[in-house]
Structure 1
Amino acid sequence: MTSLSQIVWDDTVLPFQLDMSDIRGRIARLDGVLERILGQHDYPAAVEGLVAEAALLTALIGQTIKLRWKLSLQIRGDGPIRIIATDYYAPATEGAPARIRGWASFDAERLVPDGHAFSQIGKGYLAILIDQGAGNVPYQGITPIAGSSLSACAEAYFAQSEQLPTRFELSFGRSLLPGQGEHWRGGGVMLQHMPKASPLFAKEAATGEGGLLTATDILDGEDGDNWRRANLLLDTVEELELIGPTVQPTELLVRLFHEEGPRVFDAQAIQFGCTCSEEKVRQSLSIYSAKDIAHMTTEDGIVTADCQFCNAHYEFDPATLGFEARERPDGGE
């Protein structure tokens, strides 16, 4: 039987603050969202795990962006796992759910199914992009692939690009509860020291892999002591506590940080959401000439397109596509 508390906290992000430590954070629980992202693709296990990790990171990071903004997380490498991409669409209005989608591209011939997943990304970068809407220049921050996980890359990104000490603790996998079928669940905690004035750091001060800054390079004194204490407390968390569903996020927060003065804010609901549409595909093809469209046309006389995020399939009459289209989509001349 599914408990009410499980239903309430599934697919949510709970923001909190540790008043005694000057640290903010979030707890994420993804259930149906993760199942939708992964259930519609037949990814190998190594790829599935990385997409699940990226989705959790996206939920935790994305919760801070403003209404109607979009945050994208992109991982690109030269290994068998070439691309992992996720999008977080902030709520359109106050109280509405946020939306997440994700996909991956990989070389099946080069992939080692039982090999270490993260190492199969190879050399590359992790990028965070924020689209603030029409009339605004998108923000983009990039950090090299480093460490041993996507979480470590994201921590390096915040230390290097934002000078914000950040810690992620994530857990995910296929869950089998009594009375339910096997499905994906994931959960995680993000800690982040409250922003200070951003000093300039000399390169020799950086102790991270590849000369990147780390949290300990940025903090000292009382702030450093508070950060280390909060991280030691987070080290005690168990994987099942992160994933749930029997431990509520508020209960977990008290278990871990009751001496740090935890204070919670309104939880943000999250659902799977893809923005693809027939009209958007038509717009993307509008830059092509009739000759280009002819090269895209199948033997059956149609142009097809598939959404990488949700597997939606679209078919078009080539005469209605491109800037030299002879017919309108509605059949008019």
Structure 2
Amino acid sequence: MLGTKIAWDDTVLPFQLDKSDVRGRVARLDGVLERVLEQHNYPPAIEALVAEVALLTAMIGQTMKLRWKLSIQVRNDGAARLIATDYYAPTADGQPARIRAYASYDEDRLDPTGDAFANIGSGYFAILIDQGEGMKPYQGITPLTGKSLAHCAETYFAQSEQLPTRFELSYGRSTLAGGDETWRAGGVMLQKMPKASPSVAKKDDAPVEGLLQASDILEGDDFENWNRANILLDTVDPLELIGPSVQPTELLVRLFHEDAPRVFDAQPITFGCSCSEESVRRSLSIYSAKDVKTFTTDEGTVTADCQFCGAHYIMDPKTVGFEAEVKSDGGAE
């Protein structure tokens, strides 16, 4: 049982530790996460994995100077085959960012009793950045490793960006006083601020082998400052992370008061999907009339469902594909 709802729910608060050269984010998701998960009747283990990746997406997306979209994909050969999330940047100052998420899994192979991460097999953790029309997309991939998807994200930043990064997350079902049981999630992201010319440290003048860690990237005062920030974050309580009784600003003062925490404008987060009938038609435009006939239903329609938001589209097969006989509005092609 938790206290009353506060204004920090569904927000990401950026901050900086001025004395440590460390930046970070505090995130709180409640209504957004509930909207994401209510689209599907996921088993508890899959719900937990989706919650974890959604929380990571909110924090990572807010660190990027996006024009459009950041996506995270976790693909593997385990029972939780795919977890995909999208973060859509705000379209204007003061507007919320949007998040959506989806999972594909093999229910017969799920382990419902153990840790949710036990359902993740060998595969990769990928971040994809799409800056919109006319811009070249970016994709970074790292192997799945560690004991959580948060650990995989930390490895991604060490490998792809050479930025020591730490995530401390908490998520699960909770009940506000006098309310219903809902999903809540919260977390803190720490990241060493990049230098003008980042370089990987070498041990005994030999290149570092295997996956990078903070000690491979930082030296001297940089490593000491980073290590201290992590030790302080180790003292956080899960209930401090998810709230709602402890405000993010109070949490930062409690954890890092000696490092001069400085906060910036909070970013509101909402649930949102980019699907539309137009986008479905574009995806079907590669098919001939003969192909369209193969996926036309017995009722004489072409249907499509959005895996993220559950939207259901029904179309006339004569309006689908590159050999469409009529326009979707009924006009002659």
Residues in 2 aligned to 1:316 and 1:294: alpha-carbon distance in whole angstroms: 12
Matched residue, 1:163: 162
- Deviation at 1:112? 2.0
Matched residue, 2:234: 235
Residues in 2 aligned to 1:273 and 1:7: alpha-carbon distance in whole angstroms: 22
Matched residue, 1:184: 183
Matched residue, 1:17: 16
Aligned counterparts, 1:163-312, within 5 A: 163-196=162-195, 197-200=197-200, 206=208, 211-312=210-311
Residues in 2 aligned to 1:121 and 1:206: alpha-carbon distance in whole angstroms: 27
What SS does the corresponding residue of 1:279 show, helix, strand or coil?
A: helix
What SS does the corresponding residue of 1:311 show, helix, strand or coil?
A: coil
- Deviation at 1:95? 1.2
Matched residue, 2:147: 148
User: Retained in 1: the 8 A contact 2:3–2:245?
Assistant: no
Residues in 1 aligned to 2:282 and 2:160: alpha-carbon distance in whole angstroms: 34
What SS does the corresponding residue of 1:195 show, helix, strand or coil?
A: coil
- Deviation at 1:7? 3.5
Gaps of 5+ in 1: none
Question: Matched residues, percent identical?
Answer: 69
Residues in 1 aligned to 2:32 and 2:293: alpha-carbon distance in whole angstroms: 38
Matched residue, 1:32: 31
Residues in 1 aligned to 2:99 and 2:72: alpha-carbon distance in whole angstroms: 11
Residues in 1 aligned to 2:250 and 2:199: alpha-carbon distance in whole angstroms: 37
- Deviation at 1:20? 0.8
Check 1:287–1:201 CA distance in 2 against 1; reply closer, same or farther (3 A cut): farther
What SS does the corresponding residue of 1:53 show, helix, strand or coil?
A: helix
What SS does the corresponding residue of 1:109 show, helix, strand or coil?
A: helix
Number of residues of Structure 1 aligned to a counterpart in Structure 2? 328
* Offset from partner CA, 1:198-249 (integer Å, 9 cap, x none): 2256696547xxx100112111111111011100000000000000000000
User: Retained in 2: the 8 A contact 1:65–1:90?
Assistant: no
Matched residue, 1:79: 78
What SS does the corresponding residue of 2:282 show, helix, strand or coil?
A: helix
Amino acid at match of 2:30: D
User: Retained in 1: the 8 A contact 2:201–2:219?
Assistant: no
Residues in 1 aligned to 2:21 and 2:40: alpha-carbon distance in whole angstroms: 41
Matched residue, 1:131: 130
Residues in 2 aligned to 1:74 and 1:83: alpha-carbon distance in whole angstroms: 7
Check 1:201–1:292 CA distance in 2 against 1; reply closer, same or farther (3 A cut): farther
User: Retained in 2: the 8 A contact 1:205–1:217?
Assistant: no
- Deviation at 1:67? 4.8
- Deviation at 1:68? 2.9
- Deviation at 1:118? 1.4
Residues in 1 aligned to 2:77 and 2:239: alpha-carbon distance in whole angstroms: 34
Residues in 1 aligned to 2:140 and 2:166: alpha-carbon distance in whole angstroms: 18
Residues in 1 aligned to 2:109 and 2:183: alpha-carbon distance in whole angstroms: 26
What SS does the corresponding residue of 2:81 show, helix, strand or coil?
A: strand
User: Retained in 2: the 8 A contact 1:67–1:93?
Assistant: no
Deviates more, 1:180-189 or 1:103-112: 103-112
Residues in 2 aligned to 1:57 and 1:277: alpha-carbon distance in whole angstroms: 26
Amino acid at match of 2:179: Q
Residues in 2 aligned to 1:79 and 1:47: alpha-carbon distance in whole angstroms: 12
- Deviation at 1:113? 1.9
User: Retained in 1: the 8 A contact 2:200–2:218?
Assistant: no
- Deviation at 1:66? 2.5
Amino acid at match of 1:282: R
Amino acid at match of 1:171: S
Residues in 2 aligned to 1:66 and 1:21: alpha-carbon distance in whole angstroms: 23
TM-score after normalising by structure 1: 0.95
User: Retained in 2: the 8 A contact 1:100–1:273?
Assistant: yes
What SS does the corresponding residue of 1:156 show, helix, strand or coil?
A: helix
- Deviation at 1:52? 0.2
